[in-house]
């Protein structure tokens, strides 16, 4: 009888220790994912902005250009298309999930200003800084989205206000 109780106590102790180790490992992974989200939010906030195109200005430029036979030159046409953009600052970043690609890179899914759904891929750490190198799918036209993510002409070096960031704590899918 004492052997059965002793074995039961040993099993309970082993399961408790294993559970504690598993919980510590999961907590460490969640901390690393939170750090990745914070770094990516800072990177986006300081290096990217959102723009949309003014359809009326684009139509007007197209009429004036008329496929190269109009009243404006190629350079003037391109300049008028650039001027048809309206830029916005990033005011909200919401992380929506993580996934692993077939090439074992980590994809971070996020939304910006409730307008854009984007993905950043982390596959390599910088040898100099030890931080992740982000590959962001900016400038890509996506079905149903009329806003675009583009790199800022003048990068900033400000710390992002944490109240505009919504973190994802669900782990990796």
Is residue 140 within 8 A of residue 120, CB to CB? The reply is: no
Q: What's the pTM value of the predicted model, to 2 decimals? A: 0.75
Starting at the edge strand that comes first in sequence, how are the strands of the sheet with 85-88 ordered? 85-88, 48-53, 147-151
Specify the 3-state DSSP secondary structure of 135: strand
- pLDDT value of residue 92: 94
Rounded mean pLDDT, 16-21: 71
Specify the 3-state DSSP secondary structure of 23: helix
Is residue 84 within 8 A of residue 58, CB to CB? The reply is: yes
Above 70 in pLDDT, residue 143? no
- pLDDT value of residue 2: 78
Angle value at C-alpha 138, between 121 and 65, nearest 5 degrees: 160
């Amino acid at each position: 009888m004492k052997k059965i109780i002793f074995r039961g106590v040993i099993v309970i102790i082993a399961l408790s220790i294993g559970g504690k180790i598993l919980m510590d490992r999961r907590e460490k992974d969640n901390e690393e994912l939170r750090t990745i989200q914070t770094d990516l939010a800072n990177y986006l906030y300081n290096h990217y902005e959102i723009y949309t195109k003014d359809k009326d200005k684009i139509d007007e430029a197209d009429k004036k250009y008329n496929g190269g036979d109009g009243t404006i030159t190629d350079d003037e046409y391109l300049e008028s298309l650039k001027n048809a953009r309206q830029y916005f600052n990033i005011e909200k970043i919401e992380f929506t999930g993580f996934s692993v690609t077939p090439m074992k890179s980590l994809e971070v899914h996020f939304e910006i200003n409730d307008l854009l759904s984007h993905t950043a891929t982390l596959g390599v750490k910088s040898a100099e800084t030890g931080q992740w190198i982000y590959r962001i799918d900016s400038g890509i036209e996506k079905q149903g989205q009329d806003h675009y993510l583009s790199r800022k002409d003048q990068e900033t070096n400000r710390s992002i206000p944490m109240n505009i960031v919504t973190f994802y704590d669900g782990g990796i899918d």
